[in-house]
């Protein structure tokens, strides 16, 4: 497996993105897209009908993962993300649906330039790590 891409910025991605409110907006845009885009239907169906908790957990996780406050770890402990995704069949198609929703969300928030290239690479890396088949 490729190593995770290194941060080329002179601040954390969390700071470059604009802090908690922007991570919240990113998470909301991501799940709104998953909810609305028929192309993401297969991964939408894996999630609970009510996405409130999914939104909150991804928001908390991303804050820490981007170099901000470790909200997820404080509440739930180590994320063990790969293990938590094992009950769901995640292949290339599901990975790409997830990344498509995230790219759409970043477009909506106008995440551009060096930060965008870095986040595209980091999300691609972690989403591929979640793959447990194909
Ligand atoms: C690759 C395709 C992926 C699929 C199909 C997928 C699907 C899911 C599903 C079905 C759940 C359980 C429902 C829920 O708790 O919302 C979940 C939970 C979660 N996912 Fe993903 N996911 C993917 C990738 C990712 C990636 C790349 C990240 C992080 C960058 C991520 C972060 C999370 C988090 C933080 C949770 C909540 C874990 C918990 O229960 O505490 N997922 N995901």
| CATH domain 18-129 topology | Globin-like (1.10.490)
Pocket-testing residue among 84, 97, 119, ligand 1, by greatest number of atoms within 8 A of Cβ: 84
DSSP 33-93: HHHH-GGGHHHHHHS-SS-HHHHHHHHHHHHHHTTS--HHHHHHS---HHHHTTTS---HH
> Which residue has its alpha carbon closest to ligand 1 atom 12?
47
Q: What pLDDT, on a 0 to 100 scale, did the predictor assign at position 44?
A: 98
Tokens in use for 88? 């769901």
CA dist 67 and 44 (Å) reads 27
CB 106 within 8 A of CB 30: no
Specify the pLDDT at position 109: 98
State phi, psi for 116 to the nearest 5 degrees: -65, -45
85 vs 15: CA distance, rounded Å: 28
**Neighbour tally for 90: CB within 10 Å:** 22
Question: What does the pLDDT read at residue 80?
Answer: 96
**What was the pLDDT predicted at 41?**
98
Query: pTM of this prediction?
Result: 0.97
Low-confidence ranges of the chain (pLDDT < 50): none
The answer, yes or no, to whether any atom of ligand 1 lies below 6 A from the CB of 46, is: yes
SS3 127: helix
């Amino acid at each position: 497996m490729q190593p995770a891409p290194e941060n080329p910025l002179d601040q954390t991605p969390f700071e470059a993105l604009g802090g908690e409110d922007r991570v919240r907006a990113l998470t909301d845009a991501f799940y709104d897209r998953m909810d609305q885009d028929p192309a993401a239907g297969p991964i939408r169906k894996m999630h609970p009908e009510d996405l409130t908790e999914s939104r909150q957990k991804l928001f908390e996780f991303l804050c820490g993962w981007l170099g901000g406050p470790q909200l997820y770890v404080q509440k739930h402990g180590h994320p063990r993300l790969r293990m938590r995704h094992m009950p769901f069949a995640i292949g290339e198609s599901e990975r790409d649906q997830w990344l498509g929703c995230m790219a759409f969300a970043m477009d909506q928030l106008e995440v551009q330039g060096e930060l965008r290239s870095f986040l595209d690479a980091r999300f691609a890396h972690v989403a591929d790590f979640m793959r447990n088949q194909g």
